[in-house]
Amino acid sequence: MRKKLIAGNWKMNMLLSDGTFLAKEVSEKVAQHLDELEVVIFPPISILAKVAEQKLKIGVGAQDLAETDKDFGAFTGDVSACMLKDIGAEYTLVGHSERRALHNETDESVNKKVMNAHKVGLKAVVCVGETLKERETGKALDVVGFQIVNGLPDTTNAENTVIAYEPVWAIGTGKVPTLQEIEEVHAYIRKTLKEKFGANVSDKMRILYGGSVKPSNAQDILSLEDVDGALVGGASLKADDFFNIINA
Ligand code: PGA
Protein backbone atom coordinates (compact mmCIF):
# COMPACT_ATOMS: atom_id res chain seq x y z
CA MET A 1 0.00 0.00 0.00
CA ARG A 2 1.41 3.39 -0.99
CA LYS A 3 0.71 6.10 1.58
CA LYS A 4 -0.79 9.13 -0.15
CA LEU A 5 1.26 12.32 -0.09
CA ILE A 6 -0.20 15.81 -0.39
CA ALA A 7 2.47 18.43 -1.02
CA GLY A 8 2.10 22.21 -1.01
CA ASN A 9 4.49 24.18 -3.23
CA TRP A 10 4.44 27.76 -2.00
CA LYS A 11 6.78 28.97 -4.79
CA MET A 12 8.01 32.57 -4.28
CA ASN A 13 5.23 33.44 -1.83
CA MET A 14 5.00 34.19 1.90
CA LEU A 15 7.03 36.45 4.13
CA LEU A 16 8.07 35.24 7.55
CA SER A 17 5.02 36.02 9.67
CA ASP A 18 2.38 34.86 7.15
CA GLY A 19 4.36 31.75 6.24
CA THR A 20 5.00 30.56 9.77
CA PHE A 21 1.33 31.21 10.60
CA LEU A 22 0.07 29.26 7.56
CA ALA A 23 2.41 26.34 8.29
CA LYS A 24 1.12 26.08 11.85
CA GLU A 25 -2.49 26.36 10.76
CA VAL A 26 -2.09 23.60 8.15
CA SER A 27 -0.23 21.38 10.61
CA GLU A 28 -2.94 21.69 13.25
CA LYS A 29 -5.81 21.21 10.80
CA VAL A 30 -4.42 18.03 9.26
CA ALA A 31 -2.99 16.45 12.41
CA GLN A 32 -5.84 13.95 12.76
CA HIS A 33 -5.31 12.63 9.21
CA LEU A 34 -1.60 11.94 9.43
CA ASP A 35 -1.97 8.22 10.11
CA GLU A 36 -3.54 7.76 6.70
CA LEU A 37 -1.55 10.23 4.64
CA GLU A 38 1.58 12.34 4.57
CA VAL A 39 1.53 16.13 4.20
CA VAL A 40 4.61 18.17 3.25
CA ILE A 41 4.92 21.91 2.59
CA PHE A 42 7.62 23.57 0.51
CA PRO A 43 8.09 27.14 1.73
CA PRO A 44 10.61 29.50 0.10
CA ILE A 45 14.19 29.08 1.29
CA SER A 46 14.05 32.48 3.04
CA ILE A 47 11.72 31.13 5.73
CA LEU A 48 12.34 27.40 5.61
CA ALA A 49 14.45 27.33 8.78
CA LYS A 50 11.85 29.29 10.76
CA VAL A 51 9.00 27.12 9.49
CA ALA A 52 10.88 23.92 10.33
CA GLU A 53 11.81 25.27 13.78
CA GLN A 54 8.14 25.20 14.78
CA LYS A 55 8.26 21.41 15.18
CA LEU A 56 5.24 20.90 12.98
CA LYS A 57 3.44 17.59 12.60
CA ILE A 58 3.76 17.88 8.81
CA GLY A 59 6.95 17.62 6.76
CA VAL A 60 8.92 20.54 5.38
CA GLY A 61 10.89 20.65 2.15
CA ALA A 62 12.92 23.00 -0.05
CA GLN A 63 11.99 24.01 -3.59
CA ASP A 64 15.43 23.48 -5.11
CA LEU A 65 19.04 22.64 -4.22
CA ALA A 66 22.53 23.00 -5.65
CA GLU A 67 24.00 20.46 -8.06
CA THR A 68 27.09 19.87 -5.92
CA ASP A 69 28.43 20.61 -2.47
CA LYS A 70 31.18 22.97 -1.34
CA ASP A 71 33.96 20.44 -1.91
CA PHE A 72 33.59 20.94 -5.66
CA GLY A 73 34.12 24.69 -5.93
CA ALA A 74 32.64 28.07 -5.06
CA PHE A 75 28.96 28.58 -5.86
CA THR A 76 27.81 32.01 -4.71
CA GLY A 77 24.10 32.05 -4.01
CA ASP A 78 23.59 28.29 -4.12
CA VAL A 79 22.26 26.20 -1.25
CA SER A 80 23.57 22.66 -0.90
CA ALA A 81 21.70 19.51 0.12
CA CYS A 82 23.54 19.34 3.41
CA MET A 83 22.62 22.97 4.22
CA LEU A 84 18.96 22.18 3.60
CA LYS A 85 19.14 19.14 5.81
CA ASP A 86 20.88 21.24 8.46
CA ILE A 87 17.96 23.72 8.67
CA GLY A 88 15.31 21.04 8.98
CA ALA A 89 14.29 20.08 5.44
CA GLU A 90 13.17 16.50 4.99
CA TYR A 91 12.33 16.77 1.28
CA THR A 92 13.34 18.85 -1.74
CA LEU A 93 11.60 19.48 -5.04
CA VAL A 94 13.85 18.89 -8.04
CA GLY A 95 13.31 19.90 -11.67
CA HIS A 96 10.08 21.85 -11.28
CA SER A 97 9.02 23.02 -14.75
CA GLU A 98 9.48 26.66 -13.76
CA ARG A 99 13.13 25.90 -13.02
CA ARG A 100 13.52 23.87 -16.20
CA ALA A 101 11.99 26.72 -18.26
CA LEU A 102 13.39 29.79 -16.50
CA HIS A 103 16.74 28.49 -15.25
CA ASN A 104 17.53 26.09 -18.10
CA GLU A 105 17.58 23.05 -15.84
CA THR A 106 18.28 19.87 -17.77
CA ASP A 107 17.72 16.23 -16.90
CA GLU A 108 21.46 16.00 -16.34
CA SER A 109 21.33 18.68 -13.67
CA VAL A 110 18.18 17.13 -12.16
CA ASN A 111 20.07 13.84 -11.94
CA LYS A 112 22.99 15.48 -10.07
CA LYS A 113 20.65 17.30 -7.71
CA VAL A 114 18.70 14.15 -6.87
CA MET A 115 21.95 12.30 -6.21
CA ASN A 116 23.11 15.07 -3.88
CA ALA A 117 19.81 14.99 -2.03
CA HIS A 118 20.08 11.22 -1.58
CA LYS A 119 23.66 11.52 -0.36
CA VAL A 120 22.60 13.49 2.73
CA GLY A 121 19.31 11.69 3.31
CA LEU A 122 16.97 14.27 1.77
CA LYS A 123 14.01 12.83 -0.13
CA ALA A 124 13.56 14.15 -3.67
CA VAL A 125 10.25 15.00 -5.31
CA VAL A 126 11.23 14.90 -8.97
CA CYS A 127 8.95 16.89 -11.27
CA VAL A 128 8.33 15.83 -14.86
CA GLY A 129 5.81 16.90 -17.49
CA GLU A 130 5.24 17.86 -21.10
CA THR A 131 4.55 21.28 -22.67
CA LEU A 132 1.32 21.98 -24.52
CA LYS A 133 3.07 21.64 -27.88
CA GLU A 134 4.49 18.27 -26.86
CA ARG A 135 1.03 17.11 -25.74
CA GLU A 136 -0.60 18.33 -28.95
CA THR A 137 1.96 16.58 -31.13
CA GLY A 138 1.50 13.27 -29.32
CA LYS A 139 4.87 13.33 -27.54
CA ALA A 140 3.73 13.51 -23.90
CA LEU A 141 4.63 9.94 -22.96
CA ASP A 142 8.00 10.04 -24.71
CA VAL A 143 8.95 13.32 -23.03
CA VAL A 144 7.97 12.16 -19.57
CA GLY A 145 9.64 8.77 -20.04
CA PHE A 146 12.85 10.49 -21.13
CA GLN A 147 12.81 12.80 -18.10
CA ILE A 148 12.38 9.79 -15.78
CA VAL A 149 15.11 7.68 -17.40
CA ASN A 150 17.64 10.54 -17.49
CA GLY A 151 16.69 12.50 -14.38
CA LEU A 152 16.84 9.68 -11.85
CA PRO A 153 20.25 8.47 -10.59
CA ASP A 154 21.05 4.89 -9.58
CA THR A 155 20.66 5.86 -5.92
CA THR A 156 16.88 6.11 -6.46
CA ASN A 157 14.53 3.94 -4.43
CA ALA A 158 10.91 4.11 -3.34
CA GLU A 159 11.77 5.57 0.06
CA ASN A 160 14.03 8.42 -1.07
CA THR A 161 12.19 9.52 -4.21
CA VAL A 162 8.71 10.62 -5.24
CA ILE A 163 7.68 11.51 -8.80
CA ALA A 164 5.38 14.46 -9.53
CA TYR A 165 3.74 14.47 -12.95
CA GLU A 166 2.95 18.10 -13.75
CA PRO A 167 1.93 18.93 -17.32
CA VAL A 168 3.52 22.35 -17.91
CA TRP A 169 0.32 23.67 -19.53
CA ALA A 170 -1.73 22.78 -16.43
CA ILE A 171 0.42 24.64 -13.91
CA GLY A 172 -1.28 27.78 -12.65
CA THR A 173 -3.67 27.86 -15.63
CA GLY A 174 -6.84 26.25 -14.29
CA LYS A 175 -6.57 23.69 -17.12
CA VAL A 176 -6.38 20.03 -16.15
CA PRO A 177 -5.89 16.94 -18.33
CA THR A 178 -8.78 14.47 -18.49
CA LEU A 179 -8.75 11.73 -15.85
CA GLN A 180 -7.94 9.27 -18.62
CA GLU A 181 -4.93 11.33 -19.72
CA ILE A 182 -3.65 11.56 -16.13
CA GLU A 183 -4.01 7.81 -15.58
CA GLU A 184 -2.32 7.07 -18.90
CA VAL A 185 0.78 9.10 -18.01
CA HIS A 186 0.94 7.79 -14.44
CA ALA A 187 0.71 4.17 -15.63
CA TYR A 188 3.44 4.91 -18.19
CA ILE A 189 5.67 6.42 -15.49
CA ARG A 190 5.19 3.31 -13.36
CA LYS A 191 6.07 1.09 -16.31
CA THR A 192 9.19 3.16 -17.01
CA LEU A 193 10.21 2.93 -13.35
CA LYS A 194 9.74 -0.82 -13.49
CA GLU A 195 12.00 -1.12 -16.54
CA LYS A 196 14.72 1.01 -14.93
CA PHE A 197 14.57 -0.01 -11.27
CA GLY A 198 12.50 -3.22 -11.09
CA ALA A 199 9.03 -4.02 -9.80
CA ASN A 200 9.99 -3.72 -6.17
CA VAL A 201 10.73 -0.01 -6.63
CA SER A 202 7.98 0.79 -9.16
CA ASP A 203 5.22 -0.83 -7.08
CA LYS A 204 6.14 1.19 -4.02
CA MET A 205 7.15 4.55 -5.48
CA ARG A 206 4.61 7.33 -5.13
CA ILE A 207 3.59 9.27 -8.23
CA LEU A 208 1.84 12.58 -7.54
CA TYR A 209 -0.23 14.63 -9.94
CA GLY A 210 0.27 18.42 -10.02
CA GLY A 211 -1.19 21.26 -12.07
CA SER A 212 -4.30 23.24 -11.08
CA VAL A 213 -5.35 20.82 -8.34
CA LYS A 214 -8.25 22.40 -6.41
CA PRO A 215 -10.78 21.25 -3.81
CA SER A 216 -13.31 20.75 -6.65
CA ASN A 217 -11.20 18.32 -8.73
CA ALA A 218 -9.03 16.70 -6.06
CA GLN A 219 -11.29 13.78 -5.24
CA ASP A 220 -11.60 12.58 -8.84
CA ILE A 221 -7.88 12.90 -9.49
CA LEU A 222 -6.82 11.30 -6.21
CA SER A 223 -9.06 8.29 -6.74
CA LEU A 224 -7.20 7.21 -9.90
CA GLU A 225 -5.31 3.96 -9.46
CA ASP A 226 -1.80 5.19 -10.15
CA VAL A 227 -2.16 8.62 -8.51
CA ASP A 228 -0.60 8.55 -5.04
CA GLY A 229 -1.11 12.17 -4.08
CA ALA A 230 -0.92 15.74 -5.32
CA LEU A 231 1.57 18.57 -5.67
CA VAL A 232 -0.48 21.69 -5.10
CA GLY A 233 0.67 25.23 -5.93
CA GLY A 234 -1.85 28.08 -5.77
CA ALA A 235 -4.39 26.22 -3.65
CA SER A 236 -1.77 25.42 -0.99
CA LEU A 237 -1.52 29.10 -0.03
CA LYS A 238 -4.91 29.10 1.69
CA ALA A 239 -5.26 26.76 4.65
CA ASP A 240 -8.93 25.99 3.88
CA ASP A 241 -8.35 25.12 0.23
CA PHE A 242 -5.34 22.98 1.07
CA PHE A 243 -7.27 21.27 3.87
CA ASN A 244 -10.20 20.54 1.54
CA ILE A 245 -7.82 18.91 -0.93
CA ILE A 246 -6.37 16.80 1.89
CA ASN A 247 -9.90 15.86 2.98
CA ALA A 248 -10.61 14.64 -0.54
P1 PGA B 1 -0.66 25.00 -9.37
O2 PGA B 1 0.91 24.73 -9.32
O3 PGA B 1 -1.33 24.07 -8.43
O4 PGA B 1 -0.83 26.44 -8.98
O5 PGA B 1 -1.09 24.75 -10.80
C6 PGA B 1 1.42 23.44 -9.18
C7 PGA B 1 2.93 23.47 -9.12
O8 PGA B 1 3.55 24.32 -9.77
O9 PGA B 1 3.56 22.65 -8.42
Atom of ligand 1 nearest to the CA of 212: 5
Q: Side-chain half-sphere of 206: how many Cα atoms within 13 Å? A: 24
pTM of the model: 0.97
* Ligand 1 contact, 65 CB (< 6 A): no
Active-site residue among 38, 96, 98, 105?
96
* Ligand 1 contact, 166 CB (< 6 A): yes
For the chain, what's the residue count?
Answer: 248
Backbone phi, psi, residue 62, to 5°: -95, 165
**pLDDT tens string 171-213:** 999 999 999 999 999 999 999 999 999 999 999 999 999 999 9
Confidence of residue 55 (pLDDT cuts 50, 70, 90): confident
**pLDDT tens string 19-41:** 999 999 999 999 999 999 999 99
Cα 178 to chain centroid, rounded? 21
* Cβ count within 10 A of residue 121: 11
* Cβ count within 10 A of residue 59: 20
Rounded to an integer, the average pLDDT of 147-153 is 98
98 tagged catalytic = no
**pLDDT tens string 96-147:** 999 999 999 999 999 999 999 999 999 999 999 999 999 999 999 999 999 9
